[in-house]
Amino acid sequence: MEDIFVSRARAAWDTAWLQPVLVVLVALLGGLFVSDFQKVTLALWVIYGLVALSLDLVWGRAGIFSFGQTAFFGVAAYSYGVIGINLSPNTGETVTALIGGVVVAALLAAALGYFMFYGKVGDVYVAIITLAVTLVLLQVITSTAGPQYHIGNAQLGGYNGMTNIPSMEFGYPGHPGDQMSQPDTYTFAVLLAGLAFLGVRMFLASGFGRVITAIRENELRTELLGYDVRRAKVIVFTLGGAIAGLAGGAYAGWGSFMNPAPFSLPAAALIVIYVLVGGKGSLVGAFIGAVTVEWLSTALGGILPNSTTLVVGAILIGVVLLVPGGLTPLIGNVLARAFPRPAPPRRQAPSGAGFGAAGRGRELQTLGLVKMFGGLKAVDSISLDFPAGQLHCLIGPNGAGKSTFFNLLVGQYRPTEGKILLEGRPIARLLPHQRAQRGIGIKLQVPSIYRELSVQENVWLAAFAKRSSTRQAEEAVDRILTRIGLVGRANDSAGDLSHGEQQWLEMGMIVASSPEVILLDEPTAGMTHEETIRTVELVRSLAETATVVVVEHDMEFVQRFSPRGAWRKSGWTTGCSTSTWGGPSVLQVTDLRAGYGSTPVLTGVNLQVAEGEVVALMGRNGMGKTTLLRTLMGLLPARGGTILWNGGQEISKLPTHVRARLGLGYVPQGRDIFPGLTVHENLRLGGMAARQDGTRRLQEVLKLFPMLSEKLSARGASLSGGQQQLV
């Protein structure tokens, strides 16, 4: 039986034309029942919808919020006017002018997008820059009122605008056509919008179009899979500019006039409102939003004259409060309830599925690697060799720089000093996607997946990064899903998976991208014992075909592999060490009972801790581990039993501060430090509370945690989570 995902992907491509064709047919049929005057107005609304479509592509599908669509619209309209006025008397057509306007708008969008996205401008600043460009163009155009401001025979006109722009006239140079009447522009606008709509649908149904959606969902993961996110953003931004330019040329041909109004802030904001009202990301909602807003503005404008801004604002507020997703999703939900579609069948696991051979792995080396953040040296002269085809482990306390080290390896950070070599070739200057393309994959500490996409779409996106065709990527999906045990949840949203399943999904995504060096940052964090055992088997499978480097705090997990190890404290050394603790009892708990209200949590707990011994309390959430620690510290009163300190002193009735002075310390889950005080002040407060020699005790602490020496003057709130735990 044909794979469900393959058939769905093909169906998305094969039926991409269906919705645009239906919309065009409905619009053309509707035009038969309206007057010529109404056709002129409807043509304008369709053109506005075309501009909204450009923003819905850029913002709704790619996640790039832009105020620049009306700028591209306006530039194309003026370009159409300049080219049409100068050339149409000789060529007898304005198709050249329309194409010229689209090209100019696309070039402006490409140039602007290149500087923004290759300059790593943040999302907020993209909105600011596009708005600034729009307003600058407004200032430029409005200052061209004199007769000296002309291009050939075309007067720019300043505030008064450009006049005598030729109407749409089909033909080609040397073969003039007939000028289009204003009522006929409705048919032209509908067909033009339909073609643009169809083109966008086909684009988004392609492999590259799916990558655009991935960038919106999780830009970091998309880059770490090997996609050039900056290039993809420039392409989609340029395409959005071209569509807006198409609308601008059609507008100039529709009205034979153009003024600077599209470059204003209200015009730029109005396109955003169209998209929000119609439903961001729905594409057809761009036209529904434009027509709805314009129709309501016209209808209510007769009741409330000179109140267009008030009406539009009221529409936006109403939609945000009542239909936050927009009109199109609302209509879709109603239709889905009226005509429910059967759920896709559960996928069956193919026999013999596995990760497949990817190679023997590659050797990864670091030489004198240093990373500094201001005055803090997070990674200090690290020289490590990870031979090809072996499993390696990095062990160390929180805040020791292990995750920073991984970020240096994948290119999220640039090293301050040192080299990174992959098979002997330097890669420290390569971008993250370039390193991924060379075979480095990483599973991040917190699962980095596409939460709003299905499980199979997550794996497909990873597979497509290293494969030349969508078909090859689709063939890898079943094999990977079966190996990670998620084939039965292929159609489920990735965000609905449990924490452990999300960890496995991310590992599967890494494997699907065919890496030869795999970095796993705490792959068992938050997992149950059973999930950890299963993860062990997955990691062993990975190590059969790639070089694997693991950062992990779970020593039982690490010891199951007997990997080559490195201990991270203040520097890096190879090898792992173990110690044995023993001595007289310092804490003895007998038949301890505690709880909250009428709910008992601890019933008959017995525990003994010897001097120098490390005792671990292990169990699922809700089993009372934190309750036991709080009871020992006096934060929760004991309901029975005894707590003996240092071999005999009963402390179960003592208040918390007295237990602390006796030497019982407690580090809560929430890293409970004084965020507004410096590290030095936090540490001195601890010594003062224990009534000890503050200076001597501070030196002992800094000897135990040397990295805190460099952070003494830093406020607690500025530290990383691991560093706060050390404090």
What pLDDT does 573 receive?
34
Mean pLDDT of the chain: 83
CA distance 565 to 212: 39
What pLDDT does 350 receive?
43
What is the DSSP annotation of 624-687? SHHHHHHHHHTSS--SEEEEEETTTEE-TTS-HHHHHHHT-----TT----TTSBHHHHHHHHH
User: What is the mean predicted confidence (pLDDT) over 613-639?
Assistant: 80
What pLDDT does 99 receive?
95
- φ, ψ dihedrals at 37, nearest 5°: -60, -45
The mean-pLDDT minimum among 163-177, 407-421, 433-447, 566-580 falls in 566-580
User: What is the mean predicted confidence (pLDDT) over 54-73?
Assistant: 96
Q: Which two tokens stand for residue 370?
A: 């240093």
What pLDDT does 250 receive?
95
What pLDDT does 376 receive?
74
When pLDDT is cut at 50, 70 and 90, the band that residue 583 belongs to is low
Q: Is the pLDDT of residue 575 over 50?
A: no
First vs last C-alpha separation in the chain: 59
What pLDDT does 566 receive?
47
When pLDDT is cut at 50, 70 and 90, the band that residue 539 belongs to is confident
Q: Is the pLDDT of residue 693 over 70?
A: no
Q: For 329-346, how does the pLDDT look when each residue is reduced to its tens digit (9 = 90+)?
A: 888 888 777 777 665 555
Highest mean pLDDT among 12-21, 146-155, 676-685: 146-155
What pLDDT does 265 receive?
94
Highest mean pLDDT among 81-85, 179-183, 560-564: 81-85
The mean-pLDDT minimum among 20-34, 82-96, 340-354, 402-416 falls in 340-354
What pLDDT does 692 receive?
59
CA distance 527 to 145: 69
User: What is the mean predicted confidence (pLDDT) over 464-475?
Assistant: 78
When pLDDT is cut at 50, 70 and 90, the band that residue 622 belongs to is low
What pLDDT does 70 receive?
97
Strand, helix or coil for residue 521: strand
Q: Is the pLDDT of residue 690 over 60?
A: no
Helix axes 529-543, 499-512, angle to 10 degrees: 10
When comparing pLDDT for 573 and 476, which is higher?
A: 476
Q: Is the pLDDT of residue 505 over 70?
A: yes
When pLDDT is cut at 50, 70 and 90, the band that residue 175 belongs to is low
What pLDDT does 343 receive?
56
Highest mean pLDDT among 205-214, 343-352, 537-546: 205-214
User: What is the mean predicted confidence (pLDDT) over 114-123?
Assistant: 92
Q: Is the pLDDT of residue 276 over 90?
A: yes
What pLDDT does 721 receive?
65
User: What is the mean predicted confidence (pLDDT) over 520-539?
Assistant: 83
The mean-pLDDT minimum among 153-167, 225-239, 446-460, 695-709 falls in 695-709
Tell me the percentage of the chain whose pLDDT exceeds 90: 37
DSSP-assigned beta bridge partners for residue 567:
395, 573
Strand, helix or coil for residue 285: helix
For residue 461, which of 254, 704, 453, 83 has the smallest C-alpha distance? 453
User: What is the mean predicted confidence (pLDDT) over 511-527?
Assistant: 87
What pLDDT does 449 receive?
93
Q: Is the pLDDT of residue 416 over 80?
A: yes
- Calculate the CA 605 to chain-centre distance: 46
Q: Is the pLDDT of residue 579 over 60?
A: no
User: What is the mean predicted confidence (pLDDT) over 536-552?
Assistant: 86
User: What is the mean predicted confidence (pLDDT) over 377-403?
Assistant: 81
What pLDDT does 45 receive?
95
What is the DSSP annotation of 5-59? HHHHHHHHHHTTTHHHHHHHHHHHHHHTTS-HHHHHHHHHHHHHHHHHHHHIIII
When comparing pLDDT for 544 and 74, which is higher?
A: 74
Q: Which residues contact 99 (CB under 8 A, 6 or more apart)?
A: none
Residue indicated by tokens 């039982």:
556
What pLDDT does 3 receive?
44
Q: By the 8 A CB rule, do 468 and 218 touch?
A: no
User: What is the mean predicted confidence (pLDDT) over 697-703?
Assistant: 77
When comparing pLDDT for 102 and 10, which is higher?
A: 102
- φ, ψ dihedrals at 157, nearest 5°: 85, -5
Tell me the percentage of the chain whose pLDDT exceeds 70: 86
Q: Is the pLDDT of residue 349 over 50?
A: no
* H or E segment and range at residue 603: strand 599-610
What pLDDT does 259 receive?
94
Q: Are strands 585-596 and 599-610 parallel, antiparallel or unpaired?
A: antiparallel
Q: For 302-328, how does the pLDDT look when each residue is reduced to its tens digit (9 = 90+)?
A: 676 666 777 778 888 888 788 888 888
The mean-pLDDT minimum among 108-112, 245-249, 514-518, 662-666 falls in 662-666
DSSP 60: I
Q: Is the pLDDT of residue 578 over 50?
A: no
When pLDDT is cut at 50, 70 and 90, the band that residue 162 belongs to is very high
Q: Is the pLDDT of residue 5 over 50?
A: no
